Each structure stands twice: as structure tokens, then as C-alpha cells.
Structure 1
Amino acid sequence: MLRQLHGLPGLLAALLLVTLAATGAVLALAPAMDRAAAVIPAAGEVSVAELAGRVVEHYPGTEQIVRGPSGGVIVYYSRDGQPGADLVSPLTGEGIAPYEPSAFFTWVRDLHRSFLLDDAGRMLAGAVAAVMLLLCISGTLLLVRRSGGWTALLRPLPGSGGKRIHAELARFAVLGLLLSALTGSYMAAQRFGLLPETSQIGPAFPAEVAGGQPAPVATLSALSKVDLRELRELVFPYPDDPQDVYSLTTSDGFGFVDQATGELLKYQSRSEGSVIQQWIVSLHTGEGLWWLGLILGAAALTVPVLSITGITIWWQRHRASEQLPDNADVSQAEAVILVGSEGNTTWGFARALRASLHQAGLRVHCSEMNALADHYPQASMLLVLTSTYGNGDAPASARRFMARLSEFREGKALKYAVLGFGDRQFPNFCQFALDVDAALARKGLSRLHSVELIDRCCASQFSEWGDRISELIRTPFSLTYDPLPSPTVKLELVERSDYGLAVQAPTSILRFEAAEQRGWPKFLPRARKALPSFEAGDLLGVIPPQGQAARFYSLASSSTDGVLEICVRKKPGGLCSGYLHDLKPGDRIDGFLRHNPDFRPAVGNTPVILIGAGAGIGPLTGFIRKNTKGNPMYLYWGGRNSQSDFLYQPELGRYLEDNRLTGLNTAFSRSDERAYVQDKLRQDEIAVRQMVRTGAQILVCGGRDMAEGVKQVIDEILKPLPVDVETLRAEGRYLEDVY
């Protein structure tokens, strides 16, 4: 409900909101410009009497002196029967420049106040201000929910893309927009009688005036007691009328001054309502508070971007929530997909999964988690894809799931798997997915696969999860879905090194450069494009010919190395690995980069323990290559045979010599020692434990089985310490890149 309350008014009024904000941002410049053009004396330096005396010397026909909210002094005068107005210096009374309101600012002000439509436009502008007020309040509440509470509102916001931009800008601008919307709505409500309007009736014209010879204005005592900074307006008496008086308006009130005696005849202080009214105007326009005007203008400039990102987010949700084609009936479905989503991002993954299962010949029913049926009579598989909202809460389409689960009648043949979507920057990463997995287990359902968690909509993790589900149900299908597809880059293979043929584990190190342009004239220098920016540990996505899903390979180089390097083992029947292994120098491929900032060695001189097997050595070697400062870095790596598949052997030798690599420990499973990397860790358990005690970070890269074995060994090594792998993982000291 809160999201609809925020989104629908914003969509309907987007263009008007942008117009109101853009014109407001322009008008916010006026107070600062006026302030810059004005001469501002120090407090107590110039009295109103001194100012008036100086002005009259240069403008004998002075009729009125006005001090604007920004401090500029304007004199209105008559000369040779012609009226005029000048901006003057209060220190000398001399003119600075003719004063004439800007036609541009006047037009912008009319557009801002009434959309150039008079009273009807003013009513519309007031309504738009009320919509802005509603958006600020509802947006703040949504931001609090997204951040995980009021106390987390000032912390760095997690997430990425348009949602992150929208949230960050909203957090920056909300106070300024709230102030503008609140004061604008208040003034509009007063204008049209919805709130009482404050009126200030000045004092009556004095009955007794001395009527003597007028004294020079600079000598009038009442005006001498008023500091220039308090002046708002001084109206001169009519010439040759001894019964007329000076009308004085200050920041505190109104009064009359006898032009002969200089006596203050009558004075009336401003009412509280008038003061409040003036403050509301100042807070809305920045008049008299030029610095506030700039802040409000900066806040207003965010509205066009907020509108664009907001509409984009709405459109993405709208497309994701469209009806699914060929959705099987609950009673006939063989596979059921339930979706928990707050912003509908998870729906895109669910659609890809449903389409793949449907193409594989299964009858699939897909719906939101809130629509959990009492029973799925034909289903053997329940797949739950859910995000987590805020501080571990259920997303919008899953808030009734736990309650409905109590009425669910599980079938003996029904097995389930939960896939969580989230962002590791949040303190409760995928917590709701974990809660759902536990609740389904308590209900008595059998797991098809243990719960898995996907970080920041990672397409490669989703594809790999699909491969494992495909194997478990013995139904071939592949998943390919990327909510934020990356632009491809044309790569040319320039070098390759081949290993492992003798032990039936062909593995190649492939080095690519950005492909030079085709059709370039031979008499001109070659035009080779620069590689995009990337770091070792990032991912290269490759879609092979006749392939649908991208396969991802960890990068063993950084863009500063001048080449894009991957280490690929050829898998039996592997479509993409076979395609890459068949490449020859000069061949070209299309690939795209996916940044992987969560798999990086720590910066500093704390020890880094690198653990890998097989092709997993690729990114680990890339980390070592970048360790030019010689920070302590230890590599444990396992292969099959030192004579056949000792990957990167020459490079690692050089890195040991120049101290980029502190220690190297290898294990070969098809040699006389028949050792695995886990065995080498056990042999060095005292050293490993000591390094962890002093703050070491562990990075693991390679196959899933190897990674699980390494985790078990590390837990055994750490038993004497008050930490385990999960503790290190939570501290960012145990990172994995497994496949």
C-alpha cells in the first residue's frame, strides 16, 4: 500500500512536478544573485536617517527607499516628471545600476506559481505541492524500510543501478523537498481559504502632526535610531505638504515619523501571525536566506532525475508483473515456482526459469508466494525464488506466505529448493530466503537442493544453480537471464599456453586483446581498441555459438596488464570450454565483463592465503601479479601432475624471486605423493592458524567439491581459536569463487 501511495501520484504528476522543481531551482538563484549585487554595510554602520540623507543628495526627487530581503537598497524617484528606480550604495547614496525586475525571472515565477494559468493554475500548483509533500513522506517511510530502520538511514546505502541512484538522491534531497512542499502547500491552502490567512493592519494615520518646516531627513531622530538592516521600506511625504509624514516599515513593525520634529508618532509591532507568514515565505523562496535558497535549488534539481529513475523502476516492475503465458493450472502443474519480490526484479529470474522448464516439457505453474495453494496434487517440485526486504523482512508478494504455509498440505513426492536474492552489503543478506527454507523443512517437505543465495542478481550464479537443478531432476535445461546485460567487446586471441593433455585434463591459459578494427587501410597504423577496465577476479562472460546461456570465467589479469587472460579447463561435452579450446591465435570472440568486487585480496600488509585447484589458479595468479608491494601472500594449489599441468609454473617462480609471492605449496594427485591441496593445509596447520590469528584473509577459487573440502579442513585447523569459517566469512576474511 505504501509503495502504491508513493508511486501512483508520482507517475500521474511527474511532468508537473518536474516543471515545478525546475522553475523553483531557477528562482532559487535570485536571492543569491541579489545578494551578490548588493552592498551590505556592517551592523550598526549605517542608520536609516544616514541612508536617506545620502540618497536624497543624489536623488532629490526620492519618493521611496526599499531594502530588499537580500540586502539591496532600491530608491524610487521622480526626475523631470519621469519615474525611475535605481539600486544604490547605502554607504554613499550613489546609484549602482538601474533597477528593473528581470522579465525572465518574472516569467519563470509565473510559471512556477500558476503554470501561466492564473487562479486555475495556482490551484494546480498547490495540488502538485501537496503531491510532493505526500511523495516526501511516503518516500521517507519506504527508505526507512529499505534501510532496515531509522537508525540505519544515515548509513551507506547498499544496492546498485537505478534503485540505488533513486534512493541516494532521495536521501540527499528529502529535507529540502519536504520544506519546499510543506511551505508551498501551506501558502496555497491559505490563498484558497483552506487555512486562515494572516492579515496585518497597520496603524491609523496620526491625527496630530506638527506641520512645521520639514527638517533634513538625515537629522530625524526616529530614523537615526533604526539600523539599516532593520529597514524594509521608507515612504517619503508628498512634497510641499507639511501635514504629511514619513511611513516607516521595519522588520519589527510599522510607524509614522513627523517630517518636522523627527518624532515617531505611531508605531505598531508585527503580529505573531505576520512574523510566521514572513518566515514561511522566506523558507519557501530563500528570500533573506540566500544560502537556504541554494540548498533548496540543489534539492529541486534532483526531481527530474528522481522522476526518470522512478518511472524506470515502475516500468520494470510493470513488465515483470505481466501475466505469464501458458501458466499451468495448480491442479495440473508438475513444477511450481513461487516468487517473493518487492520491486519485481525477482520476477525476471522466475520467468526465465519457468520458460526453460516449460521448454523442457514440464507443466509449470508460477505465481507469487502470497498465492500458495493448499495443495499441488501433481507437482513433484516446488521452487521458491525470493528476495528479502529491509531488515530481513518478507517482500511485498510474500508477506502472507508464512500464514498460508500453516494450511498447506504437503505431498509425499513434493521436494523443494529455495533460491534467495539479495545484496551482501545488507546486514541480513537473504534472511527471508533462509527463513522460508527452514519453514518448509519444519513443515515436513524434503529438500531437492539446499538453499542457495544470489548476490546482486548475479546471472552466472543463477545459471549455475539451474545446472545443478537440471542434474537433480534429470531434465536437461539451461538458464540464461541477466537483468542488467553488459555490452559485449570483441576480443582477439593473441597467445595460448596448453597443459594437462597427458593426464586427460586439457587446460589452457588464453590471452586476448581488444580486436583491431576490420577494414582498416593497410598503409595506416593499426587501430586496436582499448580493453575496458577490469581487475583480476572479475568475470568474462562468453556465449558460445549455438549456446543460449553465458558461461563465466574468472579473469587472471587486470586491464593494466594490457591483456585479458583466462584459464580454462576443457570439460567433457562442455559447449563453451570446447569452443574456447578450439580457438587459434587470431580468432575472435564476443565477450562481456562482469565486475566481481567481492572477490578481492585485502589491501595492506596482513597475510593473504590463496587456495585453489586446477584452473582456479587463474585469478589467484592475477592477485599475486598485482602484489608489487610485496605484502605477505601464500599460495596453496593442487593439480594432477607436476610435469603435465603445473599451471603458471614459470610465472610463479619469478614471483617468488621478486617477493610478490611469499610462499608456494603445491599438491599433485597423480604423482608419487598423491596429495591434495587439503593435505598441504593440514601439514601447515600451525602456520595457517597463526596467520588467521593475526588477521589473515583466505581466498578460495576452484571446483565446488574442492572448496567444500577446504572449508572442512580450515574449520578443523581453527578449532583451537574462537572463530570458524562462517565467522571469517561474515568478517569478509573468507571469500570464495567456486563453480
Structure 2
Amino acid sequence: MVLSLWRYAHLALAIISSIFLIILSLTGVVLSINAIYEKTPDLKVENFDQVNLAQVIPKLQEVYPEIISLSVDHRGFVSIDAINDEGENVKGFIDPNSGQKLTEITQQSSFIQWTTALHRSLFLKETGRWIVAIVSFLLILISISGIALILKRQKGIRHFFDKIQKDFFAQYFHVVTGRWMLIPILLIAFTGTFLFLLRLSAFQGEEQEVDVKLSETTDENSIPVADFPVFKTTLLKDVEQIDFPFIPDDPEEFFIVKLKDQSISVNQINGSLAAQTMFAKQKGWERWNLDMHTGRTNMLWALILGIASINILAFIYTGFVITIKRAKTKIKNKFKAEQGRIIILYGSENGSTLFYANKVHQQLLAAGEKSYLTSMNQYELFPQATQLLVFTSTYGLGDPPSNGTKFSHLLNQFPQQQHIDYSVIGFGSTAYPDFCAFAMQVDESLAKQQWASQYLPIHLVNDRSMDDFLNWVNAYSEKSLLPVATVASVYAEKQKKLQKWTVVEKTTVTDDNSTFRVTLKPLSRVSFNSGDLLAIYPANDQRERLYSIGKNNGLLQLIVKKHEFGLGSCFLHNLQANEVLKARLMPNRAFNLPKKAKEVAMIFNGTGIAPFLGMIDENTRQAKIHLYGGFRTENCWIKEYQDFAQRKIQQNRLSDYHFAYSRHTPGQYVMDLIARDATVFAALLKNDGIIMICGSLVMLRDVEKALDQIVQELNDKPLAFYHERKQILHDCY
């Protein structure tokens, strides 16, 4: 709850001030560059910090018969307004040791003046200054709330600079650079706010006149300027401006010396103090804050401020990316909690884990399952549930994410009244000692519940590894026989745009055969391979249907079985020649024909033959391919497949083919063919060959059971051994 409050406060403050912060940051970058530019060339003399007025003024009076004023700016550059021996007015930067003029004084460009005005007041005069001050103060609060979030994430100040788990770039950049830019940004915000406050009368303070004992001015007590005691003790670096006496030798005319903390009047005859005014201490604060806010006195600090200003812009961008990412995954539940059969709980800090959970949820809904998705903090009684899937990340150093903090308490508060199978999927990074610690806690807690049984061992996903996640998807799909996609591109966060395809040919179903073929031609240049997937959206909504494709002479080929009320199959069957179809091509490299495999066995049932037809046709390097398939009955389509296989055998693109028919007498299944050729499959796997399987999940389970028995008997290895070596590839539904 506390974490959520800090996060919402951080977000709300950022939203309120974002537009103004963008303006102030952009202008801040420009002004920091200008501050660096103004320091070049460096006109500050080497002994500037040691030379005093008793050394400087006499030398200048030798060079210039009449001096009006001498100024020292924030950069330590000394400028003069004087008249030379030729009676010419001299204005420019000088070397105070010699009086030599170095360069003219240049005015700020109109662009910098415009930028400065925009930065200070947004061109709104006093109203704009108030807005800038408020935004600066909000930036302080944003920084403080950001610190609080990092402290919560890192479990205190001791781990403040420890490694940050990288969920995605925007989140990682936001946190890491936020830590390093913390001090500069806080100083920018604090000094900007303080400079405004110092303009208010309540903060300005008052100058203080100091009583000075005046001495009588006579010819006898006249001394040279070089011997003035006050000038000997006053360093040039402490001076802001000196106004010289208008009339030489006039005791009523004084040197008016404005220092950083006071103003003094010095008798030009005997060097005594004629007046002294101490500035309010707020003036010193103002100068320090202005130096820190602008970087005008130090090139390195100006550069840091510029980087910090750029970072503020980056923080705004990445902050909104994080927010959008958290919010973009829309949870759509067709069923209520009490109706759900498969309950999916998520614990997600930045939205990544929710994304994966929602992908699985949408596929289960599309398959007609009563799936219900909610956060772990919404755990309750689920009276119809038979499965519980928990997707959770770990926040900080082993803590639950913000929407999973209540789960342990709720788990004990709401014991389910029926038996439920559960599976836990943890997301984290092995770079941290507490890798998936919370997911492990959840798995242990569920194991202690009398009503719960572990459906699958806990699966841990390292750095959002697609292979790690697909390991769980494969295991779940095979055991549950539910059509959850095992293809990486289905779970890609950035999906490719829909492409346009022209229908070249579409066959029709017959009374004895419900299978039809669709041939498509891309309207734009698209690269694809047999085994990739085509995603269609029959109802122009989020409902997605995936089909494994074959490639034939540059055309995309689908083989589909028409179901009476099938959303995807009916849509495809109603397509007409030359009609344009919008669909998304999804690469499925894990199920493309292996380029280096010397021997491949392709096993399928029904429409699972589609990608294999394309792979065989593309087998120009003449790898040894065995084709094993199962059908219900022999029909005209089977004759076409047999003719195709015969042609490819003659072209050395196929070694042999074997079909089984379950409705013939006696009935035969593809598993029977595999058992018959057990030695072929055992030798193939032993010699690093590949087995590819496409078709129904039921067929996959039976085929793998048969293969496992074969390799254990003949190769003394479990099938899992070949799975790990990626010799078993499948795309089943």
C-alpha cells in the first residue's frame, strides 16, 4: 500500500508538471551549453586569486589616465570602462596585471536572451515566475518520491547503488540514471525554488550600515593608492565593481568598491574608509544558488547541469513509457471469478509479467475455456476452479510486487473448497541473489495447502528468456492438451503490422472430406518460411487464430479443416479468389527446416502436413527426409499427397513416406508406424538427426510416449535427453 502511494504520488506530480518541465529542461540544456561557451576563451588571469587592489589599481592608472569603472564578472573576467592617452573610450576585458585589453565585451545573442526569458518566466512576467517556482518545487517532490521508490525497491540505503533488475530498457534507464543524477536534479530544483523565494520581500533581508570613524583629509596624511591599507587586504577575486572618483584629488570623491558581501567607500587621498554597508546574508545565498543553478562559474558543473536537464527529459519519456506499459495490457474477462475454471493470477511490477499472463489467458478464452485473470491481491474463493496458474515477478530484493503483497494473507484467509491443480511461473534475473524468491515462496505456500496439488514443477524465467518461458508453455500444453501457442513470436511485445494477401486459390470441402486449401500471395515484399505461422482475425477484434504455413513457389499455403462453427476455419472457407486478406505473419524459427540436419523425420496427423509439404519442396540440399502421417480415411487429398511425395522422391528431396488410416480395417495410427520403424527412429536420434512433429496435442503426447519407449530400450536414453539437445521439434495445437 505504501509503495503504491509513493508510486501514484510520483506519477501524479510528474503528470501535473510535465509540460512545464519539458520547457524548463529544454531551455536549461541551451543555457548550460551557453554557460560553457561563455567560459571560452578563458580570460581569467593566472594569479587572479592572489592579486589585490593595491597592486591592480596603480598599474591601471598608469595605463589609463581616466578610469570610470572596473568590473569583475562571475567568470573571473575583468572588464574596464576608461579613456586612454588618445582620448578614446576603452571598454573591454583586460589583463588586470598589465592593463592590456584582451577583447571586446560582447552582448548575449537575442536567442539566448529569449531562452533566458522563457526559462525564467515563460514570457508571463510575474505569473510565469510563480509557475516556474511551483514547478521547481514539484521537481523536489518528484525527486523525493523517486528516492522513496528506489529505497523501497532496494530495501534501504545500504543497497541504494546495488544492481537493478532490468525488466526493459525504459524502466532500467529510469532507475539507474535517476540514482546518478539525483544530486544535480535536486540542486536544480532546490536552487530554482530558492531563487524565487529570495525575490519575495519576506526573504530579502536588510542592508546594515556600519559606523565608520572618519579621518581628516590633509596634504600631510596623503598616501599613494598602492599603500591604501584597505586595498592591500582586498583581493580582486572578492570584487564585483569599483567606481573610480570622478574628480581626482577631490576629498569629496571616493572609490566606491562593491564587494560580494559589502560595499565600501574609500577616501582617494588617504585610503581611509568613508562608509561601509554590509549586505544582507541573503545576497550571498542568492549568488551561491545562482552559481549552482546556472553553472556559470564552472564549466564542468555547467556540463553536469546540461546532462541533468537532458536526463529530466529522458525521465519524463521513460516514466510515461513505464506507465503506458503498465496500463496497456487490458484485462478482458468473459467470465466472473465464481465461473472461472482456469484461474490465472499475476504479480507484476512493470507490466511485463502481466503481458505474458494475459497472452495465455486470451488463448485459453479463444479455445473456449473459462479462464479468469486477476492480480494476486484479488485472490478469493474460486468455486468452479480446477487449475490455478500463478505468474509473478520478484520486486527489489526478494519482495512481492505491489499487486502481490496481500497474497500470503489472502491465501490463508480463503482456503478453496475443492481440489485445484496449480503451477507457478516466476520471472526474474539470475544476476541477483534473490532470483525469483517470491515465486518460490508462493510455490512453497501453495504446496502446504490441503486443497492444492502441483500440476507442474515451478518454472523460472531468467531475464524474460523466451526459451525459459516456452519450456513452461510446452510442458503445460502437452499435459493439459489445451491449445496454447508454443511459438516465440506469439509472445512478442511488438507485433508486426498486418500484411495484405491476395487469395490466389481456395478449394472447397466435400461430403467425404472437410479439408480445404488456401493459397495466398503477399501484396508487399514479405519473407517467410515453411513452418512459420499466419495469424488471422476473423471478427476484426482481439480474437486470433494461428495456422502453420507451407511455402510453395513463393506462395503461402494453408491446409485447414473446416469445423461447423469454427471462427477461423469458416472465415477462411468463405474467402473468394482475388479477395484481399489482412493477416500477420509470425516467424517460427524453432520450427523451420533445420539447415544443418542431415536426416529429418517429419510426423503429422491431418492438416499438420501443411508446413512439411513446403519444407520438402524447399529441400534443395537433399537432406534425408522421412515423412510419417496419420489420416482418418484415404480420399482425393491423400492421392494428391502421394503424387507429391512420389515426385519429390524422384527429385531426391524426400527419402520415403508412410501413411496410416485410423478408419480403415484394421485401423492404424501414426504411432503404429513409429513402433514398426523403431530402429530407424532410434538410429536417427543417435546420429544427431531431427524429429519434427505437427498436428494435434493428443497425437503429440502419444508420439512422444512411443518415441520415449523406443529410445529408452534401444539408445538407453530418455526422450528428454533429445529434447534438451533440440532434436525434437514440434508445433501442435
Partner of 2:676: none
- Whose radius of gyration is greater, 1 or 2? 2
Match of 2:482 among 475, 487, 500: 475
Partner of 2:73: 68
- Whole-Å separation in 2 of the counterparts to 1:702 and 1:477: 23
Please give the secondary structure, in 1, of the residue aligned with 2:68.
Answer: strand
1:7 maps onto 2:16 in alignment: no
The answer as to whether partners of 2:343 and 2:385 remain within 8 angstroms in 1 is yes
Q: How does 1:401-550 map to 2 (within 5 A)?
A: 401-444=407-450, 445-478=452-485, 481-485=490-494, 543-544=532-533, 546-547=547-548
The answer as to whether partners of 1:183 and 1:283 remain within 8 angstroms in 2 is yes
The answer as to whether partners of 1:542 and 1:551 remain within 8 angstroms in 2 is yes
**Gap change, CA 1:226 and 1:470, over 3 Å in 2:** same
Structure 1 position 453, deviation (Å):
1.4
Q: How does 1:588-603 map to 2 (within 5 A)?
A: none
Q: How does 1:229-244 map to 2 (within 5 A)?
A: 229-239=237-247, 241-244=250-253
Q: How does 1:58-457 map to 2 (within 5 A)?
A: 58-77=63-82, 85-103=91-109, 104-159=111-166, 160-192=168-200, 196-201=203-208, 203=210, 210=217, 217-218=225-226, 220-239=228-247, 241-251=250-260, 253-267=262-276, 273-320=282-329, 322=330, 324-373=331-380, 375-444=381-450, 445-457=452-464
Structure 1 position 474, deviation (Å):
3.0
Partner of 2:26: 22
Structure 1 position 378, deviation (Å):
1.3
Partner of 1:50: 55
- Whole-Å separation in 2 of the counterparts to 1:669 and 1:443: 35
The answer as to whether partners of 1:669 and 1:675 remain within 8 angstroms in 2 is no
Paired AA for residue 299 in structure 1: A
Paired AA for residue 293 in structure 2: H
- Whole-Å separation in 2 of the counterparts to 1:187 and 1:483: 49
The answer as to whether partners of 1:352 and 1:479 remain within 8 angstroms in 2 is no
Match of 2:618 among 566, 569, 584: 584
Please give the secondary structure, in 2, of the residue aligned with 1:582.
Answer: helix
- Whole-Å separation in 1 of the counterparts to 2:267 and 2:598: 96
Q: How does 1:655-670 map to 2 (within 5 A)?
A: none
**Gap change, CA 1:286 and 1:140, over 3 Å in 2:** same
Q: Which moved more, 1:266-275 or 1:177-186?
A: 266-275
Structure 1 position 176, deviation (Å):
0.7
The answer as to whether partners of 1:570 and 1:577 remain within 8 angstroms in 2 is no
User: Which consecutive unaligned segments of at least 5 residues does structure 2 have?
Assistant: 498-523, 535-546, 549-584, 622-679, 690-707
- Whole-Å separation in 2 of the counterparts to 1:144 and 1:152: 8
- Whole-Å separation in 2 of the counterparts to 1:468 and 1:478: 12
**Gap change, CA 1:146 and 1:45, over 3 Å in 2:** closer
- Whole-Å separation in 2 of the counterparts to 1:550 and 1:460: 15
The answer as to whether partners of 2:26 and 2:310 remain within 8 angstroms in 1 is yes
Paired AA for residue 244 in structure 1: E
- Kindly provide the CA deviation profile for residues 657-711 of structure 1, in whole angstroms up to 9, marking residues without a partner as x: xxxxxxxxxxx99899955579xxxxxxxxxxxxxxxxxxxxx98525999xxxx
The answer as to whether partners of 1:570 and 1:581 remain within 8 angstroms in 2 is no
The answer as to whether partners of 2:359 and 2:491 remain within 8 angstroms in 1 is no
- Whole-Å separation in 1 of the counterparts to 2:68 and 2:453: 92
- Whole-Å separation in 2 of the counterparts to 1:157 and 1:390: 8
Partner of 1:703: 723
The answer as to whether partners of 1:460 and 1:550 remain within 8 angstroms in 2 is no
- Whole-Å separation in 2 of the counterparts to 1:273 and 1:227: 22
The answer as to whether partners of 1:554 and 1:566 remain within 8 angstroms in 2 is no
- Kindly provide the CA deviation profile for residues 695-730 of structure 1, in whole angstroms up to 9, marking residues without a partner as x: xxxxx98525999xxxxxxxxxxxxxxxxxxxxxxx
Paired AA for residue 532 in structure 2: I
- Whole-Å separation in 2 of the counterparts to 1:671 and 1:360: 34
User: Which consecutive unaligned segments of at least 5 residues does structure 1 have?
Assistant: 489-516, 520-528, 530-539, 558-563, 588-638, 649-667, 679-699, 708-738
Structure 1 position 580, deviation (Å):
7.7
**Gap change, CA 1:583 and 1:63, over 3 Å in 2:** farther
Paired AA for residue 176 in structure 1: P
- Kindly provide the CA deviation profile for residues 385-407 of structure 1, in whole angstroms up to 9, marking residues without a partner as x: 11111011111111111111111
- Whole-Å separation in 2 of the counterparts to 1:111 and 1:568: 72
Q: Which moved more, 1:49-58 or 1:304-313?
A: 49-58
Structure 1 position 484, deviation (Å):
4.1
- Whole-Å separation in 2 of the counterparts to 1:166 and 1:566: 45
Structure 1 position 15, deviation (Å):
2.6
**Gap change, CA 1:478 and 1:256, over 3 Å in 2:** same
Partner of 2:677: none
Question: Normalising by the residue count of structure 1, what TM-score does the alignment of the two structures yield?
Answer: 0.67
**Gap change, CA 1:378 and 1:62, over 3 Å in 2:** same
- Whole-Å separation in 2 of the counterparts to 1:670 and 1:123: 81
**Gap change, CA 1:542 and 1:174, over 3 Å in 2:** farther
Q: Please provide the CA RMSD for this pair.
A: 4.2
Please give the secondary structure, in 2, of the residue aligned with 1:450.
Answer: coil
- Whole-Å separation in 2 of the counterparts to 1:113 and 1:401: 49
Paired AA for residue 419 in structure 2: A
- Whole-Å separation in 2 of the counterparts to 1:293 and 1:642: 71
- Whole-Å separation in 2 of the counterparts to 1:449 and 1:124: 58
Identity %: 22
- Whole-Å separation in 2 of the counterparts to 1:385 and 1:5: 27
Please give the secondary structure, in 1, of the residue aligned with 2:340.
Answer: coil
The answer as to whether partners of 2:426 and 2:460 remain within 8 angstroms in 1 is yes
Please give the secondary structure, in 2, of the residue aligned with 1:382.
Answer: strand
- Whole-Å separation in 1 of the counterparts to 2:601 and 2:130: 70
The answer as to whether partners of 2:530 and 2:612 remain within 8 angstroms in 1 is no
Paired AA for residue 313 in structure 1: I
- Whole-Å separation in 1 of the counterparts to 2:493 and 2:711: 45
The answer as to whether partners of 1:641 and 1:669 remain within 8 angstroms in 2 is no
